[in-house]
Structure 1
Amino acid sequence: MTTDTVSSPPPRRGGRWIEHWAPEDPKFWANIGRKVATRNLWFSIFVEHVGFSVWTLWSVFVLFMGPEYHIDTAGKFFLVSTPTLVGSILRVPYTFGVARFGGRNFTVISGLLLLIPTVAAAFVLHPGTSYTTFMVVAALAGFGGGNFASSMTNINTLFPDGRKGLALGLNAGGGNLGVAVAQLIGLLIIGVSGVTQPRLLLAVYIPLIVIVSICAALFMDNLATVRNDTGAAKEAVTDPQTAIMSFLYIGTFGSFIGYSFAFGLVLQNEFHRTPLQAAAVTFIGPLLGSLIRPLGGWLSDRIGGTRVTFWNFLLMGMATLVCIAASGSSSLALFTLGFIGLFVFSGIGNGSTYKMIPAIFRAKALAEIDAGADSEAAMLRARRIGGAAIGIISAVGALGGLLINLAFRQSFAVAKSGVPAFYGFLAFYVVCAAVTYAVYLRKAKAAEGAPAGAPAAYVGV
């Protein structure tokens, strides 16, 4: 790259489009890239944060739904599962949205779409509304779940490979915090006004949606280099690495979002907590899991996402055993400790798995370069496919949240306890650890011991 490409601002063609973007070029990154990428990151976090809050609103609303709503425990678990399912499905088209409309443009669109579920909820959230209506409006909250895929895909294109772990961790962690913040606001409303004013939560978020959408329009950018790149998503779908990482992401993010939606209901039904008592604890797990997610990305930048992910799944298994033991002994304190451990470790795992995704495709590009492929073309293809894979993996991973809530629903319906569901989760984490070791960690160790000049494998993943 010539000097003039890094000494002047990237060309624009109007509408906040950036024509030239080379984050892997040290001069470009130091002179231009870092500032632009960081600015986009912060406003992306704001919109994604509100999106997660909207996605999780129904996990708060069910705490307000007393006997006058005539919805039993199974119905409430199914109600909070609905936004999870819809949000998971929407993550696929949202991934295409960045390539079709541009990162900044689609962030604005996805932000304004959050007005649909919130305004609809304001009209129906009262006793006497039919369960079917609640289900339809809860499904609309899935718009908040789709935001994550487009946001992460966009941020992935802005940062160089060596900084993706922390950047994606901050973006996702800031977004995940929306879960805890919505639950904390719900706690404050219950504490001050009781369980009769759920719509006060909407009075907070409807204006906030407008504010963050306007900020995205004013301060974010589109990258022309990723527009109309929907072909990358087709390549990502057929790549076996996408399927494997989707499976692992079910174990990390699926756990985080599933437990976030279910924690309050589990406390109410396993330990007979009141709505206020449940709400007083519910937000702690998502809060810690969100705050620690960037640590997972930061650790992965330094010691490798594969190592962090492998040990993390083992720790999630241990936390699950604590929950099982606590349920058997009816120890609320021990159960809360184990459940919070699940949130913390799922947060770390979210950061580490997202670091692995671009690193895997970069390793494949290095292998192609070793085999004689053009260096610039191979690395560009890796960024394209890696970005598309992030959206697809996030969609599949979010389905884990649906599975967790359905598992709890069935467990309480049959055994009047969440213990059978926890045993299923434990088995899954063990399988995830085994897959991580067999597919990535073992190969990485072998590659590290290979002679100089050997083809690149999964070193640094």
Structure 2
Amino acid sequence: MAETVTTPPAVTAPGARSRWIDHWDPEDPQFWEETGRPIARRNLVWSIFAEHIGFSVWLLWSIVVVRLNDVGWNLSTSQILWLTAVPSGVGAFLRIPYTFAVPKFGGRNWTIASALLLIIPAGGLAWAVERPEIGYGILLLIAATAGFGGGNFASSMANISFFYPEREKGFALGLNAAGGNLGVAVVQKFVPQIIVLGGGLTLSYAGLMYIPLAVVAAVCAFLFMDNLTEAKADPKPVLQSLRFPDTWVLSLLYIGTFGSFIGYSSAFPTLLVAVFDRQDIALAWAFLGAGIGSLARPLGGWLSDRVGGAQVTMAAFAGLAIGAAAALWSVQQASLGLFFFSFMFLFVATGIGNGSTYRMISRLFQLKGLQEGGSPETMLRSRREAAGALGVISSVGAFGGFAVPICYAWSKSTFGTIEPALRFYLVFFIVLLFVTWFRYARRGSLLARERV
């Protein structure tokens, strides 16, 4: 029996078999304080947990590949980087249908389904990594299924965006994303220890450990999360978001922030080995980059709530350009210490830029709704369009996670060094800094006056 909430709203009991909330008005201060906040917080907590497991599975290959040649594989640096890039590309592609899944099935229901889908890549990795006889093509195909974990981000962010009022959305989305992003750091920190339990090297443990965790995430979503009727709509508002020019401008910016984060996270352990031949550092310390970047993401959202997302995003791109220049110089000087430090700086900048760019999305669609009259129906449509844009932008941005390792692989195989790739990133970040200023921070523009 489906349970609903009507005005005045009532909280459905945890464990309800089908839980839908019909009335949801977080912009009403009384509703938010008396009813909305605890429900939103509960959904945020379990959304973070499920997304964390998804991100972990998505980036499992980033650290497993460091030890593949130790268990019988004979892979080049380019082949290894492709194994880290393909899951990112598949995950980016899946973010579009995952975004549509929230209005189609409900946020809670899709969280359950998407968590259970993680069993496929986790089990596939556990089966394949210690069977070199299957060949590289099969291994690459199995690695591609890790993209299921990347799709989780889009549906999670689209769902949580409905729960929070505009004034708290930046920090809430930042927390949701950071909790997921931390899955990268957790994988890179603990998998190297898990795979050597018992004194040997058993790479299959990396996949096996996430099968029960995926089940736990699905069970917790079933017991503790809710579906919002407001979010359950036809796909039209999502498609309408594609007509908004800023959806595509922000997609470009998100390639530079999130695409850099996920691309650097997947490639960094391999680069430490390929450039400096330091597998020990890759296995012991590479996780710091993803960890720092993840923790910086809520800071980007929080700062954007206060000073404007465009200003923070510009600062992030300036930091990314500085970090890329420092990384380039460190490779030229063969300085491992500076290389490591420059990448930590890059990760901080990506995290702040992730939070600020995402904060700009909901703010831009809110302004769009106000310019179109600001009626309750218009603002509801605007929120639905914003949720759709979140998924589209996260998908396009995530393709950066595919491009970054491929660019490094091309640079290394063609020139024998990653310097050309770093030069490209330096120029790219400067261009994105200019785009952000021109579109959102240029003096006299509407978006600048509104502190987007």
Same-fold call, TM cutoff 0.5: yes
| CA shift digits 1:40-59 (9 cap, x unpaired) | 00000000000000000111
State the shift of 1:381 in Å.
1.8
Paired amino acid for 1:200: Y
Q: Residue 152 and residue 8 in structure 1: after superposition, are their counterparts in 2 closer, same or farther (change >3 A)?
A: closer
Structure 1 partner of 2:450: 459
Q: Residue 85 and residue 458 in structure 1: after superposition, are their counterparts in 2 closer, same or farther (change >3 A)?
A: farther
State the shift of 1:116 in Å.
0.7
Q: Supply the distance in 2 between the matched residues of 1:248 and 1:194 (Cα, whole angstroms).
A: 45
State the shift of 1:311 in Å.
1.1
State the shift of 1:24 in Å.
0.7
Give the one of 290, 300, 308 matched to 1:286: 290
> Residues 97-108 of structure 1: matches in 2 within 5 Å?
97-108=101-112
Tell me, yes or no, if structure 1 residue 89 matches structure 2 residue 103.
no
**Alpha-carbon contact 1:58-1:80 (below 8 Å) kept:** yes
**Alpha-carbon contact 1:117-1:141 (below 8 Å) kept:** yes
Tell me, yes or no, if structure 1 residue 237 matches structure 2 residue 242.
yes
**Alpha-carbon contact 1:359-1:460 (below 8 Å) kept:** no
**Alpha-carbon contact 1:6-1:32 (below 8 Å) kept:** no
Q: Residue 183 and residue 374 in structure 1: after superposition, are their counterparts in 2 closer, same or farther (change >3 A)?
A: closer
**Alpha-carbon contact 1:440-1:458 (below 8 Å) kept:** no
Give the one of 163, 180, 196 matched to 1:175: 180
SS of the residue aligned with 1:66? helix
**Alpha-carbon contact 1:98-1:227 (below 8 Å) kept:** yes
> Residues 112-151 of structure 1: matches in 2 within 5 Å?
112-126=116-130, 127-151=132-156
State the shift of 1:205 in Å.
1.1
Q: Residue 458 and residue 240 in structure 1: after superposition, are their counterparts in 2 closer, same or farther (change >3 A)?
A: farther
Structure 2 partner of 1:205: 210
> Residues 45-444 of structure 1: matches in 2 within 5 Å?
45-66=48-69, 68-126=72-130, 127-189=132-194, 196-274=201-279, 276-368=280-372, 373-442=373-442
Structure 2 partner of 1:28: 31
**Alpha-carbon contact 1:296-1:349 (below 8 Å) kept:** yes
Q: Residue 106 and residue 315 in structure 1: after superposition, are their counterparts in 2 closer, same or farther (change >3 A)?
A: same
**Alpha-carbon contact 2:58-2:148 (below 8 Å) kept:** yes
Q: Residue 194 and residue 400 in structure 1: after superposition, are their counterparts in 2 closer, same or farther (change >3 A)?
A: farther
**Alpha-carbon contact 2:9-2:23 (below 8 Å) kept:** no
State the shift of 1:10 in Å.
6.2
Point out the more displaced range, 183-192 or 7-16. Answer: 7-16
SS of the residue aligned with 2:417? coil
| CA shift digits 1:156-203 (9 cap, x unpaired) | 011111111000000000000000001111232366567831112223
Q: Residue 316 and residue 457 in structure 1: after superposition, are their counterparts in 2 closer, same or farther (change >3 A)?
A: closer
Q: TM-score, with normalisation over the residues of structure 2?
A: 0.95
Q: How many residue pairs align between the two structures?
A: 444
Q: Supply the distance in 2 between the matched residues of 1:225 and 1:278 (Cα, whole angstroms).
A: 45
SS of the residue aligned with 2:96? helix
State the shift of 1:71 in Å.
1.2
Q: Residue 195 and residue 414 in structure 1: after superposition, are their counterparts in 2 closer, same or farther (change >3 A)?
A: farther
| CA shift digits 1:347-385 (9 cap, x unpaired) | 0100000000000111112222xxxx2521221121111
Q: Give the % identical residues.
A: 45
Paired amino acid for 1:186: V
State the shift of 1:14 in Å.
6.8
Q: Supply the distance in 1 between the matched residues of 2:449 and 2:237 (Cα, whole angstroms).
A: 21
RMSD across aligned C-alpha pairs, in angstroms?
1.9
| CA shift digits 1:110-156 (9 cap, x unpaired) | 00000011112222121323111101110110000000000000000
Q: Residue 192 and residue 122 in structure 1: after superposition, are their counterparts in 2 closer, same or farther (change >3 A)?
A: closer
4+ residue runs over 2 A deviation: 4-8, 10-14, 189-196
Structure 2 partner of 1:9: 10
Structure 1 partner of 2:40: 37
**Alpha-carbon contact 1:312-1:349 (below 8 Å) kept:** yes
State the shift of 1:204 in Å.
1.9
